[in-house]
Structure 1
């Protein structure tokens, strides 16, 4: 899997979790093979309040995700993932509140996971994945994040 090896405690990231991360960070819907990440041809209507962009995931990419967390009062947690120090954890309920029910519902539908399991896995995976995507404390551009999902 490359970039995301050891990004989460316990090792490998499962395919549903990769789909969820892709949906959040790059707007990609992963297919059967990891190198075949592609945007869905007919995306489901996105609620206006999610700030979706064509190439930046449901929230406008990594920067949009971090902004959502900051807006919800979790800026220090999000900053710890981007920075070079220890990653702080976020509990599933706080993550769900920050992302909003429409985004959680959309990702749960894409992955086939229930919303609680999705939030549990995302709250475990996001600190390590964001940390791996921001090795020098800099937020990459959306196309750079997308290329990480294609490797």
Structure 2
């Protein structure tokens, strides 16, 4: 994966984890939502199928990396988030704390997209995010959204 080598403990980013990270940070894997669920006999999907309160386009479910960091800060984990962006040691975050910060609706949606159990998803994300965010912010600065997206395309 290049940029993300050695970003997670054990150095192995599985495809479901990459999908989850992409969904959170850049919106990859989010398009074609109704096409993935053709068996639903419900009313036609609204023009914007993104859940209320979340970002759309290529900003990920939370509005990209900046949105994720804001969610963490708003949930009382600002020091943790700042440690990932800064140049010092990355602080860890527990799976439950991460889940509470991101919110159950987003976790549920990502779990459905990845095929992972919600607790397993949170466990993997809490292990991976410190290193991934650290790699995406090498100079202690949050990059522009298109720079984050290009990291996932490389």
TM-score, normalised to structure 1's length? 0.90
Match for 1:60 among 57, 63, 84? 63
CA distance in 1, matches of 2:98, 2:50: 19
1:48 aligns with 2:52: yes
Where has structure 1 moved over 2 Å in runs of 4 or more? 41-47
Q: Following the alignment from structure 1 to structure 2, what is the Cα–Cα distance between the partners of residues 146 and 41? A: 18
- Of the three residues 90, 108, 123, the one matched with 2:126 is 123
* Residue of structure 1 aligned with 2:79, choices 76, 81, 95: 76
* Distance of 2:26 and 2:106 partners within structure 1: 14
1:113 aligns with 2:113: no
Match of 2:37 in 1: none
C-alpha contact (below 8 Å) 2:50/2:56 kept by paired residues:
no
Instruction: Please identify the structure whose Cα radius of gyration is greater.
Output: 2
TM-score by length of 2: 0.88
RMSD: 1.2
SS in 2 for 1:18: helix
- Counterpart Cα distance in 2 of 1:109 and 1:41: 14
Match of 1:132 in 2: 135
Instruction: Provide the residue aligned with 2:107 in structure 1.
Output: 104
Taking the aligned partners of 1:120 and 1:131, their CA distance within structure 2 comes to 18
Q: Using the alignment, how far apart are the partners of 1:78 and 1:13 within structure 2?
A: 21
CA distance in 2 between counterparts of 1:41 and 1:146 reads 18
Q: Which moved further from structure 2: 52-61 or 78-87? A: 52-61
Shift of residue 40, structure 1, vs aligned partner: 1.8
Structure 2: distance between partners of 1:148 and 1:67: 20
**2:22–2:152 CA contact under 8 A, matched in 1:** yes
The answer for unaligned runs of 5 or more in structure 2 is 35-44
Partners in 1 of 2:92 and 2:101 — Cα distance? Answer: 14
In the other structure, the counterpart of 1:8 is 8
Segments of 5+ residues of structure 1 without an aligned counterpart are: 30-38
